[in-house]
Copies of this chain bind each other. A is one copy, B any other.
Amino acid sequence: MFALARVHELAPQHPEWIQHQPFKAVLTDDRAAMGRFSESDWEIVLAATHSGMTTEAFVDLVKQWLVTAKDPRFHQPYTELVYQPMLEVMEYLRSNGFRTYIVTGGGQEFVRVYSQQVYGIPSEQVVGSSILTRYELLNGKPVLMREPKVFFIDDKSGKPVGINLFIGKRPYAAFGNSTGDQQMLEWTQAGDGARLMMLVLHDDAQREYAYGPATGLPDSKVGTFSQELYDEANSKGWTVISMKKDWKRIFGFEK
Contacts and interface: CB of A to CB of B under 8 A. Distances in A.
Contacts of A158: 135
A71 to B, nearest CB: 26
A33 interface: no
A50 interface: no
A133 B165 contact: yes
A135 B112 contact: no
Contacts of A168: 108-109, 112, 123-124, 126
A100 interface: no
A44 to B, nearest CB: 23
Contacts of A190: 141-143
A43 to B, nearest CB: 19
A169 B124 contact: yes
Interface residues of A, number: 30
B124 A167 contact: yes
A164 interface: yes
Nearest to A112: B168
A55 B130 CA distance: 23
A164 B187 contact: no
B135 A183 contact: yes
Interface string A149-165: 00100000110110011
Given A142-B186, A142-B190, A135 B123 contact: no
A124 B161 CA distance: 14
Contacts of A165: 108, 130, 133, 151
A36 interface: no
Contacts of A133: 161, 164-165
B161 A123 contact: no
23 contacts: A108-B165, A108-B168, A109-B168, A112-B168, A124-B169, A126-B168, A133-B161, A133-B165, A134-B157, A134-B161, A135-B157, A135-B158, A135-B160, A135-B161, A135-B187, A141-B190, A142-B160, A142-B187, A144-B160, A144-B161, A144-B164, A151-B165, A166-B166
